[in-house]
Structure formats: structure tokens, C-alpha cells
Structure 1
């Protein structure tokens, strides 16, 4: 079992996009919010100080809202959503270039892969203190209704004999859920995870 340290903005873990007054960010800003959360996490825990433009040791709702507006052009809400891993990678990579951050690389792993491959990838990332952005598209499980066509991030795992649980962070809160149930969406078209890598030079900068 391993959990990444979470940060709070006011009473929320990360920020709750449902509080945005920007209409499109409120209903479709999950990709940008996930990128904001990942950026703050990496600044706090990997020393990548270019990623967050405000006071990293005093996180406020207004600064987060301002940050989300900076991120919005790179991962803008759109009619069909940011519905592929490539769209998110392209958008976040463009943001990283815009702030002069060159120590992060990433690639996608779609969840049409074998479950064990997905488990291993998630475990490796979290064991190396890296957050895991996750895209969930359609899902047959009604318990995941709030997470349909939605980006969030994984901040922990718990491995038992027959179950591999992951800690989902979104809407300013977190919950534990079976990775197998996330993976087994019941639909042919699937989302997946973004696997990050931070170079040693970046961590030492």
C-alpha cells in the first residue's frame, strides 16, 4: 500500500471544478483541473518550481482559479471533451514548454491493455511518487456515474490478495475504488492513464 501526499485548497483536496463560475470550466474543465493538480503536486513534491506560478506554500482558491484560467487554453473544454490520452499529453506538453519545464516526459497507456499491465504501470508510478492522470469514458457501473467522460488522478494504491484498489482524486475529494472495476468499463472504447517520468536532473534542480 502506498499513498501520495495530498494538498488542500481551503477545505478541498485539490479544487472542486463544480465551484468554478466559468461555465465551460465548471461543466468540462476536468482535464485542465487534473493538469493543475498534477502541476501543484509536482511542484510541492518533486521540486519542479516552474509549474505553479503562485505561492506554492500558501494555496488559495483565488490563485487556483487564476491558475485554471492559465491552463484552460492548453486543455480547453470542448464539445466532445478531452477524450483521448494524446489530446491531454499534447495540451499539457504545450503548457510545460510555455513555462520552460523540460524535465517531464509522458506517454499514455490505454485500458484496453491486460489488467495486470495496467496495475503494474499504476503501481510503478505511485511507488516513484508520481501522480497518475486517468481518463474514464463511458462506464456500465452506476457507482461511477459521476466519473463518466471525466479526468481525475490517482494518488495511491492498496494491494490485497484478490483486489487492487486505487485512490481517485477529483471534485475536491477522494475515494477508493477497484482498479479492475475501473478497467472493466463494459464498453469497447476505453480511456486510460498518463504515465509521467521526471528526470533526475529535474528533481535536483
Structure 2
């Protein structure tokens, strides 16, 4: 069983990338803001919101970076990073409120939950047409180094007999990784998922 969300490209990139910004702090720690920006564009394209202030049918890196700087005050890069689910939800929630958007709600799913709970949540969200913001903190497996202390979106899954692969979009690219391996960081302090919902 496999499902991938229809996603968008920015020129030749899959979604945005913090590496595009000339602002030093956004390059170093803008992953949460980029995750929120990508979520906004996705919601505009597929959920009927009006959050991205430019042409969403032909997204350019220049305009995307301008949007990212608009998001920066809400998810301000800091030396400790946006290192909890609550900080992301508070910042992005305030952005949505300031834009008059009350259609999107959020709830956290802690990284301390068993992987079976996370897998069920990811599959449920993607089946409902929502990308899933994911926060990974430190990870003992070097295979996941590029996702350490990082926010990104999960936009697909492939359920196999004893494994669930997830599709990650980040840095303008996509990657398929084993959810169990990603989830089992080997550290006490965990990140987790943010689950989006449409307001009923």
C-alpha cells in the first residue's frame, strides 16, 4: 500500500529550502519557518486557503524567500532551535490567526509515543490529504544525520509487510526513509509530529 500527496515544485525544487536565504539565521535555523511556508502553499493549492501572497501556480525562489522572511518573526530561528512541538504550533498558529485563517487546527503527537501510534497517525493524515510536520532532535544512527535537529514534512508513505517507509520533503528534495528508524532516535529527549486538521 502506497500513497503520496500531490506536491508542488519551486522552479526545479521540491518545496522550499532554508539554504536559499541570504539571511544567515534563516539559513542556519529556518527549517521550521520553511516547513510552515510549505504548509501554507500546500493548503492554498489543495485546501482552499489564501496564505501565500504571490502566484502559487508559478512559485519562484525569490518570492518564496520573501514569504519566508514574512514567516520568520513567527518561527524565529534561535540558538536552541524550534525544539518543541509547542513552539511550532504557537508560532504557526499565530501566523494563521493574523492571516484570518481559522480553518486549520493543530495537535501534537510526542516522539515519546510508540512508533505504531506514529505510523497510524502519519497514514491517517496523508490519507486525509494533509502533510505532516515532523521534528527530529538528536539521532544516534548516522543514516539520519541530515534530519538531526530539523523540521521537515512527511508527504507520503509505503506500507510493507513489516515496515513503513515515509517520504520526506526538505532542502528542496525528497527522500524515502524507514519510519521506525527515524522515530527511534536512541535519545531520551524526543521531537514528534504535528497533526493538521480542518476545523469542523
* TM-score normalised by length of structure 2: 0.98
**Alpha-carbon distance in 2 for matches of 1:83, 1:100:** 26
**Alpha-carbon distance in 2 for matches of 1:53, 1:42:** 13
Range with bigger deviation, 69-78 or 10-19: 10-19
**Alpha-carbon distance in 1 for matches of 2:199, 2:93:** 15
Tell me the residue number matched to 1:37: 38
SS in 1 for 2:37: helix
Tell me the residue number matched to 2:9: 8
Superposed, which structure 2 residues align to 1:1-205 within 5 Å?
Answer: 1-49=2-50, 51-199=51-199
| Deviation sequence 1:61-84 (CA, Å, 0-9, x none) | 111000000000000100100000
SS in 2 for 1:68: helix
1:58 positional shift: 1.5
Size of the aligned set, in residue pairs, is 199
1:198 positional shift: 1.2
1:199 positional shift: 2.9
Range with bigger deviation, 191-200 or 27-36: 191-200
Check conservation: 2:20, 2:65, Cα contact below 8 A: no
SS in 2 for 1:88: helix
RMSD, aligned CA: 0.8
Moved over 6 A (4+): none
Which structure 2 segments of 5+ residues have no match? none
1:94 positional shift: 0.3
Check conservation: 2:132, 2:154, Cα contact below 8 A: yes
| Deviation sequence 1:86-131 (CA, Å, 0-9, x none) | 0000000000011000011101001111111111111110000001
* TM-score normalised by length of structure 1: 0.95
1:178 positional shift: 0.6
SS in 2 for 1:59: coil
1:12 positional shift: 0.6
Tell me the residue number matched to 1:203: none
